[in-house]
Structure 1
Amino acid sequence: MDRLSNTVRPYAWGSTTAIPALLGIAPTGEPQAEMWMGAHPGAPSLITRTAPAPAPGTAPDSTPGSTPGPTPAAPVEQPLTDVIAADPARELGPATVEKFGPHLPFLLKLLAAGAPLSLQVHPDLTQAQQGYADEERRSVPIDAPHRTYKDANHKPELICALTPFDGLCGFRPPLEAAEAMEGLGVDSLKPYADLLRAHPEEAALREVLTAILSADPEQMRQTVTAAAAAAERIGGAYAPYARIAHHFPGDAGVLAAMLLNYVQLQPGEALFLGAGVPHAYLDGLGVEIMANSDNVLRCGLTPKHIDVPELLRIVRFEATEPGILRPEASPSGEEVYETPVDEFRLSRFDLSPGAAPVALTAATPQILLCTAGTPRAGELVLTPGESVFVPAGEKTEVSGTGTLFRATVVA
């Protein structure tokens, strides 16, 4: 078992206080958006392991007249990516390697939104493979601002709230979106509302999103400004859109957001986001887990590139319920968030004083993250924000007091 040293990403939308408060450290004043736990090449966790000792006789003892012997092994800090690459079967287990290849198939995060993230969707596996192959064939540089597919993998994800957490998830019924737009009393919104009422669900949603993203920028700026002022004045159910517009004045994504379900999660509740489902996180602290991919297609609320034709190919134009998840308890006390993917499995333990230790030995790799209290993972005591990597097959158990999230693989 290895204690992880993790990178915090300072994205502009990050909260300046949420992650420092969880870690029990003073804020720096800078945004701290995501703490990454895992083996993503962009910011792999670091672990400290003892390096192998040299063969006898290769390192002489410093004592005069002594017989040469091995130098004591020294702890070495190294990226988890390198550790896994050196022996994938040992670290991940044969079943994980056979199913997903020699890489940790998930990335675990603490996510702290102080402002809205971009409105976005993710491709399914086939779409990702096709898109990546196409951009490779066209020699689009991997770091080009207009590059869409950074890898050939899909990116299903799950967010579990640690604090009250606001977001947008999936299209709401077109008539409901039309009523919301009409309720603002802004004349330039009427054509969008009319389209939403005039067509069947899929066509209505497709036509309106297409119209929003292809509108004249200056006319869109004026429409969004008027809509934001009305939302601010009316308040209530319109307040979230006023807040979004405050961060992204004039952005077409403000209107696109009105097509989606507004969701408020309470601590312990979660959302699963599959391929093609438009979504955005707005505010709050949560534990996020996802397939290890960077593939994002943006719809708005961002200065980054928006590939409208590809976006429209990927989006699923259907109204959906957000489907708030609550964990299902097992006899061991493990509370599991059930999802339809195999790259990750997220669960939670609320550990109580005096309770029997729970064995977590598994044939798959695990990351354990403490979010409250001082639980024990094996011999290690964890504090909020601390995490450990448990290689496949490693015997361990959890005990003590606090909340511990467990991330692993279905293999």
Structure 2
Amino acid sequence: MHQVLSVGRSLSIQAHPDKELAEYLHKAQPSVYKDPNHKPEMALALTEFEALCGFISSEELDIVLDMVPEINEVVSNASVDQHDGEVKGRDLRSIFTKLISIDRDVIFKALSKLVNRLTRENETRQLTSKEELVLKLEKQYPNDVGVLASLLLNLVKLEPGDGLYIGANEPHAHLNGECIECMATSDNVVRAGLTPKYMDVKTLCSMLTYKQGLPEILKGVPINQYVRRYTPPFEEFEVDQCVVDQGGSVVFPALPGPSVFVVISGEGMMLTSTSEDGVSEGDALFAPAGTEVQVSSESEVRVYRAGVNNKVLLNP
């Protein structure tokens, strides 16, 4: 799947199951998990783009627990827990599980305290980006546990041209901006907050990797003067960004797999051995396997091509 996504209102905090878990969930709850496939995805920023992705580092977690009394109060009973016979202090899995599982009235009280405190403090100091995000999210999703959970996730800010890939079992949420989104074909989503939709808390808490630290930002690799390639660390797809100057032309060599082209801006022509099509903003075209595609521009044209990961095609 390859689409343009414009985010005005923050989307839900969610994670996508890996292939094995997706098959299990589909058999167990086919009305909720409608297919047995996983859903790795990648977002390429068209504008400044903000997202939550992955859990904050251990050092940042300590700061949150020390500096945000409203969260510390809620999860205090989970600050020491036992896993695999080992007692761990300030264990992320315990903290997140406790937070995401608490009663709605507890969330209501904690959020009221947090919002009131930040509103007061905003009159005497500059709030951090995360604190400003809390106030924004609480207006969009009042009394939602995801507002508190956002403090445990990395706030990632992408510049146009930056890419962010999201693997299986990793929490994330798109907050605002426009991007090209590419993902495997699946509708399987396990939600964690910022949503009125169904949240499968038990599945969510058991499936996450709980990996901590900032995610990798992809900058792309130049293929030629017009094309930059973004290759995530999974086999389903890769994406080429193509910006052709007015009067310019570029050839996409024939590949063993199919491709989908989406025109973001400008006007031009797309030529194959069997067709010649004028294209402009909003057009999408499918290129079968083994098809060479030439893109030429009348005015500067920006095109994205999504196809099967080249590494897979070269190493069957």
Contact kept, 8 Å, 2:57 with 2:214, in 1: the verdict is: no
Identical positions, percent = 31
Name the residue aligned to 2:97. Answer: 210
Question: RMSD value over aligned CA atoms?
Answer: 2.2
Residue 270 of structure 2: which of 370, 377, 384 is its match?
Answer: 377
Name the residue aligned to 2:63. Answer: 179
Q: What's the secondary structure of 2:72's corresponding residue?
A: helix
Structure 1 residues 404, 297: closer, same or farther in 2, change over 3 A? same
Contact kept, 8 Å, 1:336 with 1:347, in 2: the verdict is: yes
- What is the Cα deviation at residue 375 of structure 1? 3.2
For the pair 1:153 / 2:37, whether they are aligned, the reply is yes
Name the residue aligned to 1:236. Answer: 128
Contact kept, 8 Å, 2:251 with 2:292, in 1: the verdict is: no
For the pair 1:162 / 2:46, whether they are aligned, the reply is yes
- What is the Cα deviation at residue 195 of structure 1? 4.9
- What is the Cα deviation at residue 194 of structure 1? 8.1
What 5-or-longer segments of structure 1 have no aligned partner? 1-106
Q: Distance in 1 between matches of 2:172 and 2:37?
A: 19
Letter in 2 for 1:351: V
Per-residue displacement from partner, 1:341-377 (whole Å, max 9, x unpaired)?
A: 2221111111113434323422211111111222321
For the pair 1:406 / 2:316, whether they are aligned, the reply is no
What 5-or-longer segments of structure 2 have no aligned partner? 82-86
Letter in 1 for 2:156: V
- What is the Cα deviation at residue 113 of structure 1? 0.9
Name the residue aligned to 1:42. Answer: none
Per-residue displacement from partner, 1:310-355 (whole Å, max 9, x unpaired)?
A: 1112111120322111111013642111112222111111111343
Q: Distance in 2 between matches of 1:281 and 1:193?
A: 29
Name the residue aligned to 2:84. Answer: none
Kindly report which structure 2 residues correspond to 1:349-368, keeping only aligned pairs within 5 A, or say none: 349-368=242-261
Name the residue aligned to 1:118. Answer: 12
Letter in 1 for 2:75: Y
Q: Distance in 1 between matches of 2:155 and 2:169?
A: 17
Name the residue aligned to 1:108. Answer: 2
Residue 27 of structure 2: which of 133, 137, 142 is its match?
Answer: 133
Name the residue aligned to 1:388. Answer: 285
Q: Distance in 1 between matches of 2:36 and 2:201?
A: 20
Letter in 1 for 2:293: T
Q: Distance in 2 between matches of 1:157 and 1:380?
A: 29
Name the residue aligned to 1:192. Answer: 75
Per-residue displacement from partner, 1:62-98 (whole Å, max 9, x unpaired)?
A: xxxxxxxxxxxxxxxxxxxxxxxxxxxxxxxxxxxxx
Structure 1 residues 271, 359: closer, same or farther in 2, change over 3 A? closer
Contact kept, 8 Å, 1:178 with 1:194, in 2: the verdict is: no
- What is the Cα deviation at residue 134 of structure 1? 2.8
Q: Distance in 2 between matches of 1:200 and 1:336?
A: 42
Contact kept, 8 Å, 2:54 with 2:172, in 1: the verdict is: yes
Per-residue displacement from partner, 1:31-63 (whole Å, max 9, x unpaired)?
A: xxxxxxxxxxxxxxxxxxxxxxxxxxxxxxxxx
- What is the Cα deviation at residue 182 of structure 1? 3.7
Point out which structure has higher relative CO (alpha carbons under 8 A, 6+ apart). Answer: 2
Q: What's the secondary structure of 1:258's corresponding residue?
A: helix
Q: Distance in 2 between matches of 1:191 and 1:311?
A: 19
- What is the Cα deviation at residue 197 of structure 1? 8.2
How high is the TM-score relative to the length of structure 2?
0.86
Contact kept, 8 Å, 1:114 with 1:282, in 2: the verdict is: yes
Contact kept, 8 Å, 2:26 with 2:35, in 1: the verdict is: yes
Q: Distance in 1 between matches of 2:9 and 2:112?
A: 18
Contact kept, 8 Å, 2:15 with 2:172, in 1: the verdict is: yes
Q: Distance in 1 between matches of 2:192 and 2:144?
A: 10
Name the residue aligned to 1:289. Answer: 182
Q: Distance in 2 between matches of 1:359 and 1:176?
A: 44
Letter in 2 for 1:123: P
Contact kept, 8 Å, 2:74 with 2:110, in 1: the verdict is: no
Contact kept, 8 Å, 1:298 with 1:305, in 2: the verdict is: yes
Tell me which stretches of 4 or more aligned residues in structure 1 moved more than 4 Å.
Answer: 193-201
Q: What's the secondary structure of 1:374's corresponding residue?
A: strand
Size of the alignment, in residue pairs? 293
More strand by share: 2
Contact kept, 8 Å, 2:244 with 2:250, in 1: the verdict is: no
